[in-house]
Structure 1
Amino acid sequence: MNTLLIIDMQNAWLDNPAQPCFDSAAIVGRINHAARQVRAQGGKVIFVQHSDADAPIGSAPWQVITALEKDAADSTVLKLAGDSFAATGLAAQLAASATSTLYISGFATEFCIDTAVRAATSRGLNVVALSDAHTTADRPHLDAPAIIAHHNWVWSGLPVPAGSSLAVRTTAEAFPA
């Protein structure tokens, strides 16, 4: 079964005029497309939601942005660290659904997305990083497009443990219309 992770696409980070995320409207569109395709194929969509002082659980900043399409069958994983697997039920959910391929999307490229890609391959999963379905904001040392391009490049050549795989694909490559 295919599973799509949608990581940290929450109001606290995506609805922040002080630090706008790169190409967020187009990225939301691609994530929605991927989610529709995964659901249509009988797969699973999991929303991962980070909680901290800026986004307490249940608060408006903690909520997933309304532009993302949610389905009653989708599940949610709550996390308190940059690693979606750390002290969460994510690994158990993936095992229970017999995930064969894990697609990764969301925010922030250089933090939670990068960590999820690495943690998932370290757990023996077959991972596809959706190269045009993750975002971040400009940082003091590098702008968002450069951060995204850099991580897509790193993941394209990242050695992974035996039994896992890592591919970097556009949403259209992974989920043709």
Structure 2
Amino acid sequence: MSANTALLVIDVQNFFFHETRPIYIGEEVVSKIKALISKARVSDVPVIYIQHLVGDKLGVQIDGTLLGAIHQAIAPTENDLVICKTTPDSFLGTNLDEVLKQKGIKKLIVTGFQTEFCVDTTCRRAFSLGYQVVLVGDAHSTFDNLVLSAEQIRQQLAYIYSYHPDWFAEVVPSENILDAM
């Protein structure tokens, strides 16, 4: 893995694991992200956490609460960077682009929640800003909605990205990323 690469961990926060409506295959995804974080740290690939700071759609305020905390299985260390955001775009209103440029980052490996909102928006914005984007195909998730299952949403995003391979992001399984780091 090149020295100009960073791992983004988007919104892997406790509110996605609420007992009444947990995110689709959440613990499996967290396990894959944990392996990626471990490998990134030993490979000197910066790990950047993105943390959402706005109340969720249930009307529960999450800022500063246990629900808003990053999942304990992948908690940041003092060497990791945590950037807080208030929109689905990890770049909008944050210093993410500035930090990446200061570190000489040109390639982003993207993981996290929610597939069709913050993950997709961040991938597209990163692409538009000139970054090479790799979405880890088995390290992001979402919820079922009224039209599609969570798995269909994940597959749809992978299809969209693969349909235009020079746009947005390359979708790669975590095993391949781990082998390349």
Partner residue in 2 for 1:174: 177
Partner residue in 1 for 2:158: 152
Kept in 1: contact 2:124–2:169 (CA 8 A): no
Structure 1 stretches of 5 or more lacking a match? none
The one of 78, 87, 92 equivalent to 2:93 is 87
CA distance in 2, matches of 1:28, 1:124: 28
Q: CA deviation at 1:72?
A: 1.8
CA distance in 1, matches of 2:94, 2:23: 26
Kept in 2: contact 1:82–1:112 (CA 8 A): yes
CA distance in 2, matches of 1:82, 1:157: 23
Partner residue in 2 for 1:71: 77
Q: CA deviation at 1:21?
A: 1.2
What does residue range 38-117 of structure 1 map to in structure 2 within 5 Å? 38-53=40-55, 54-117=60-123
Partner residue in 2 for 1:131: 137
4+ aligned runs moved over 6 Å, structure 1: none
Residue 127 of structure 1 aligns to a residue whose secondary structure is strand
Kept in 1: contact 2:114–2:141 (CA 8 A): yes
Partner residue in 2 for 1:26: 28
Residue 72 of structure 2 aligns to a residue whose secondary structure is coil
Deviation string for 1:43-89 (max 9, x for gaps)?
11011011113344322111001121422201101001110000001
Deviation string for 1:21-53 (max 9, x for gaps)?
111111111101111122222111011011113
Task: Tell me the C-alpha RMSD between the 2 structures.
Answer: 1.7
The one of 125, 144, 157 equivalent to 1:119 is 125
Residue 139 of structure 2 aligns to a residue whose secondary structure is strand
AA paired with 2:41?
R
Identity of aligned residues (%): 29
Q: CA deviation at 1:160?
A: 4.9
